[in-house]
Amino acid sequence: MRASTVRSASLSKGRLDIWDVLIRIVLIVVSLICLLPFLHVVSKSLSSDSFVIANKVFLWPQGFTIEAYKKIFADASILRSLYISVIVTVLFTILGMILTICAAYPLSRAQFKGRRVITFIFLFTMYFSGGIIPDYMNINNLGLMDTIWSLILPLSFSAFNLLIMKTSLTHGIPVSLEESARINGAGHFRILFSIVLPLSKPIMATLALFYAVGRWNAYQDALFYIKHETSLRPLQLKLYYLVIQASESFQLEATTVSLSNPEVLKASVVVFATLPILCVYPFVQKYFVQGVMLGAVKE
C-alpha cells in the first residue's frame, strides 16, 4: 500500500516537472518572439549602410556605427517632436487619471443612487462610438485644430480604465475604513485623499502606464488634427512618415537628416522613439501585476 502511494506521488511529481518544463519553454519562445524583432531593429540602426543594403544584418550590428543617431540628435525637428510627445504624454496621463479617479470613486460607493445606470452609459461607449468623421467635425467646431489640446482632450478619458478603477475601489477598499472615517467626521474628499488614494497606488500606477503608453504610441489623431502647425507634430507622426515614405518624408518635414540608406534612418528613429517609454516601465513594474489583479479579482 505504501509502495503504491510512493509510486503515485512520484508519477504526479514527474507530470508536474514535465508541465513546468513545457511552461518554461513556451514562455521562452514567446519572450524571444517579442524580443528578437526589436534586437533586429537595434542592430540595423547601429550598422553601416552597406551591410543593411546587402541584408546581412540580423541580430548583431555589422560595421558598427552611431552615425544615424548623431544625425538624429543634430536634427532640430526630431528633437522638437520628442519634446512635444513628452509634454503631450505627461499632460494626457495626468488629466486622464484625474478624470478616471473623479468618476470611479462615486460610482464605487453603494450609497450613490443611479450608479448602475451611469456605469452602463460609460460601458455603452466601449462598444458604440460616433466614428472618425464626427470626431473630426467636433474638434474642428471647437476650434482645437492645430493646437496641442487636440492631442490631449479627446482621448483623455477611457471607459475601460474607469471600469478597472471602479472594480478595484469597490472590492479593494474595506468598507470598515470608510465607516470609521465617517464616524470621525471625514467627508468624501477627506476619505478620497486620505484613505482611498494611498491604498490604490498599485492600480493607479497601472492605469497611468496604460494612459502613457497609449498616448505615446498614438499618431492617427495627430495626422488628422495637426495640419499646418508642423512644430506640434509628435515623434510618432515623424515615424509614420518615415514608414510610408522612407526617402521623401523628411524632405517633406523640412528636416536636415540625410542618409544613403533610409532603412538605417527608420531603424534608428524606431529605437529613438521606443526608448523613452521603455525607461518608464522599471518604475511601475512592481505595481503592475498587483494593480491588474486588484481590478480583476473579487474576493
197-249 pLDDT per residue, tens = 888 888 888 888 889 888 888 888 888 888 888 888 888 887 777 666 555 54
- Using CA atoms of 26, 32, 37, 39 in order, give the dihedral in degrees to the nearest 10: 170
**Residue 271, C-beta contacts closer than 8 angstroms, at least 6 positions apart:** 41, 42, 45
Per residue in 126-162, pLDDT tens?
888 777 888 888 888 988 888 889 889 888 888 888 9
The residue with greater pLDDT, 183 or 294, is: 183
- Using CA atoms of 252, 257, 261, 263 in order, give the dihedral in degrees to the nearest 10: -80
Number of neighbours of residue 211 by Cβ within 10 angstroms: 23
Number of neighbours of residue 143 by Cβ within 10 angstroms: 10
CA distance 71 to 87: 23
**Under 8 Å between Cβ of 233 and 218:** no
Per residue in 44-67, pLDDT tens?
888 887 777 777 888 888 888 887
For residue 215, which phi and psi values (nearest 5 degrees)? -70, -40
**Residue 100, C-beta contacts closer than 8 angstroms, at least 6 positions apart:** 157, 158, 161, 162, 165, 207
Confidence band (pLDDT; 50, 70, 90) for 8? low
Number of neighbours of residue 83 by Cβ within 10 angstroms: 13
Number of neighbours of residue 76 by Cβ within 10 angstroms: 11
Instruction: Name which of 29, 32, 30, 60 is nearest 47 in CA terms.
Output: 60
**Three-state DSSP class for residue 130:** coil
Instruction: Name which of 81, 220, 93, 79 is nearest 161 in CA terms.
Output: 93
Once rounded to an integer, what is the mean pLDDT over residues 250-268? 60
Set of cell numbers at residue 114: 443611479
